[in-house]
Chain A
Amino acid sequence: MAAGERTRSEQAALRVLIVEPPEEEAARQPGGVLDVASALRRLGREIQLEVHREPAVALRAMAGGHADLAVLDQALGDRFWSLLDAAGSAAAPALVVVRASDEAFALEAYRAGAADCVRVGSEFGDLLPIAALEQLRRVRHIRSKGAAARLGKRVDDLKRYNEHIIQNMNSALVVIDPGARVAYANPRAERVLGAEPGELEDEDVRRWFPGLPPEEILPLRTLEDGHRFRGAEMVLTRLDGALIPIGLSCSPLVDSEGVREGAVAIFQDLTEIKQLQRQVLQTEKMASIGQLAAGVAHEINNPMGFIHANLCQLSEYLDDLQKVWDRVDGLRTAARRERIDGDEVRRAAADLEAMIGEVDAAFLLNDFGTAIRESLEGSGRIREIVRDLRAFSHQDTTQRAPTDVNRALDSTAHIVWTMMRHSVVLTKHYEELPPVSCFPVQLQQVFMNLLVNAYQAIEARAEQEELRGEIQLHTEVQGEEVVVRVSDNGTGIDPQVLGRIFDPFFTTKQVGVGTGLGLSTSFNLVQQQGGSLHVDSEPGRGTTFEVRLPLGEEGDP
């Protein structure tokens, strides 16, 4: 870079201002100013000559301050001194041509600021061009150290500043030449790709995307037609072969004339972000499993409560009935004797009778049946819950499967309803649906989120006013889509926040109640299945969420 700068100041033409004396022959003498002119001219376009005949014009030109060197002739007479002054104020060194051997004049000229004096018409007649060149060399030197140095410092500062930014920026930055090779890679890029410093130089960027056709390698398309990309996601193969997700922006690199000379690619390693996303998903899943578990536990606990109590009672009943049976045995023994003892039989029968009365056997037998019936009903309820739960736990979460959406919705609603049956009436309107190819567990997770939200909105509204909570489930086929609607008559959603409810962590609920992840996760889960999630809400009236799932194979990846 410093080299470029030097070239520029060297190339900038040096301006030499020559003032021709009135006597033409003097000027034409060997070594005279015109001789200097022709000598300098031979140096090429580096030197810009300005020859003046009119001293007044020369003075004005000098005052313009653009001369790098003034060549003034003693033969200029009176005007000589004012021209020398002007050269001094314009900071242009003055080279003075002294006629004959006039030391006094030379001394005077030096005193007045002349840079050099050269006598012409002598055996050293060739000295003038040499002296002029020497002066120019000095000018050039001073310029490159002065003005150029000042400019250079600014350029350097800027460059260091840019360099600093590029070196330390959090994004990887790679400059790609038209041949798809790396012209520059910042340290972050080296780190993302797992390269040693400098190792990426000249590397073909196609190597980072093995197996991808060129038209899918975005930087190549930028090289090709100048296309810009922002925030595109790609998978990049590091030098060690590991695959990482990246977010990529590409723009063409153009020179000052607008000609494309490559591309700049800026990208970020998204591994951590993706991991976070997965964690969020997991957190959400855990949160919904937590809610689910609480609902299930409550629902199982009631039947467990009475089944357990009934079993304890039944074992007491059995003890009592055993006592009756023992008396029955006594009676049988008395009745089986070879010689029946009427008294003994009567006593045994009385014993039996007494015991039947004591334990209230009629009641026991009757209630035994009731307790068993009630317990069976309870165990039936638990069995149903477990069957619904199995839908959650026993499925492959990574595989699409033809799914009965009505069943998925119903079993989920059944589980969730257990925790809200006290305050909510659930109405269902299911249309017959063809099987939908989707991820059933994820779908149930979505339904659960919608149901839990609906329930919470109803609870919140019920705190403000007398309310008969109602959740309506509705399914139907619309064209090529299955539509599932979950409607509630809860609080509704304020239009001001309606646009944010799908944002991760957006919640209007208390800490511990809301995670703000339910809807954002649901949105993603539905989208993953090729479907969409919509909301319609009226504050104070209620809310409807609508899940739309594509029918048939189009939704398959």
Chain B
Amino acid sequence: MSHTNMTIREAIASTIDAEMARDDSIIILGEDIVGGAGTAGGPEAIGGIWGTTGGLYGKYGAGRVLDTPISESAIVGAAAGAALAGKRPIAELMFADFIGVSLDQLWNQMAKFRYMFGGKTRCPAVVRMIYGAGMNAAAQHSQSAYAILTSMPGLKVVLPATPADAKGLLTEALRGDDPVMFFEHKALYGVKGDVPDGEYRLPFGQARQVRSGGDITIVTCGGMVRFCEKAADALAKDGIGVDLLDLRTTSPMDEEAILDSVESTGRLVVVDESPPRCSLAADISAIVAQKAFSSLKAPPLMVTPPHTPVPFARELERAWLPSHKDVEAAVRKTLAYNGSR
């Protein structure tokens, strides 16, 4: 297969473009996704603040590329309605934190249509949202809202950590018939990698094996993957083999990959960018405790931020955000448990 090297930003932009070219029913809506509407500079003066939607307006026109007022409830609600009415909307929330404004449309509407209506409807809406800490954007522009949405039956939740995954998962989202929450980490947009050319789909619910090793399993996703890679590489120098899994999707979640790995390593560290209570890390720890108890040589450890909002100051955010050092320390602690290794 031929590949092209590109950033996650480019992978997302080119996938939206390719899918819109292929399928007329795809529409895209959000704030400033065109940028410049109603100004002297004219539409496309800016082309989306994240650089993922530039050029779409010129290609697909105002009927399919809808620049909206600041109205997240209406943006997500309109995506829900358009999906019921036969379109495939992509709604963009400029920051994932803004799910707060639109939560009813996600939680009580999109997520539940199919079930409430006895399986008679489909709601193929993709809600793209930009998430994550590390840029001093403070408490209302830095959150990792994926744990909240993962807890809601009816929503699929996707978090690519590489350009290839961004393409494969976004294509899959746009071909499926369920609402998909598509999380794009603001600190990962510039990450480069090889992306398969042509049609490329990645089924949901299949974790990516990032490193292989026999001593300990690390399960993570999204923005934390890069820190775990760094930790795994440092640990490898000390002869510690890490089995590193990037979940890619947290709903559905690849339980089998997690359990298989823990059964062979006997140890688990879960690394999650959302706060610890009722989190993905807590969820995975519970699953492993219930289903792989007899394989465990040490209690599962969670590496997460503290149970606080995201702070602004550099020193505070650095202390808040899990780092590769925190991951390394958790691994060493797990390995040292009861002299288990």
The judgment on whether A and B are partners is: no
